[in-house]
Chain A
Amino acid sequence: QQQVKQSPQSLIVQKGGISIINCAYENTAFDYFPWYQQFPGKGPALLIAIRPDVSEKKEGRFTISFNKSAKQFSLHIMDSQPGDSATYFCAASHRSGGYNKLIFGAGTRLAVHP
């Protein structure tokens, strides 16, 4: 119930294409769904996040689509660029014991080819 399942494990996209990464969860107590971007040797950086009261959030080329009934959410990267090549992690969070516990997906390694 605490798991967040992420797919695909790896993704290759041509420059200018759309990258789509999917995540699914079981625990309906989750109330915050962030995406993190991680470059090799660096810490994950918060990219974009959504709450379950909205179905979509867009920031620049990055969009989160959220389907509450299906308990799924996805990250869309429009006009993918080689600089977007990184590992992306979805996560889900709920407040428990005085802190926000983040459950991470296993990650998707994205390669954008020029």
Chain B
Amino acid sequence: SQTIHQWPATLVQPVGSPLSLECTVEGTSNPNLYWYRQAAGRGLQLLFYSIGIDQISSEVPQNLSASRPQDRQFILSSKKLLLSDSGFYLCAWTPQGGTGEQYFGPGTRLTVT
């Protein structure tokens, strides 16, 4: 069966510091991968999606970037965090060629102080 992991689970970082969040998927090959952000009590905002290694698209311009160094690994990064980067970051995957179902990871709670 497929499993999606995210780490760290929680993170507190000062403004201006770098960021690296990692997501890995097990039990599938060549998945589509997604990064979302969820502000407190709010909906989900799609940040990046990837249909393959080094194939990444950004949904909204922002202080973040994403990379996919391996087939089942997706990384969210920032060089300098802003207070507004605080939130709950979720990674998700869909089967390549799938029919719409999207599966989410456990999330990372980021607090920028």
Contact = CB atoms under 8 A, between A and B. Distances in A.
Interface of A: 31-32, 34, 36, 41-46, 49, 89, 93, 95, 97-102, 104-107, 109
Given A99-B32, A99-B94, A100-B32, A107 B43 contact: yes
Contacts of B103: 46
Interface of B: 32, 41-44, 46, 49, 51, 57, 90, 92, 94, 98-107, 109
A98 B51 contact: yes
A106 B42 contact: yes
B102 A46 contact: yes
A31 B44 contact: no
Contacts of A107: 42-43
14 contacts: A34-B100, A43-B90, A43-B92, A44-B104, A46-B102, A49-B100, A89-B44, A98-B51, A99-B32, A99-B94, A100-B100, A101-B49, A104-B43, A104-B44
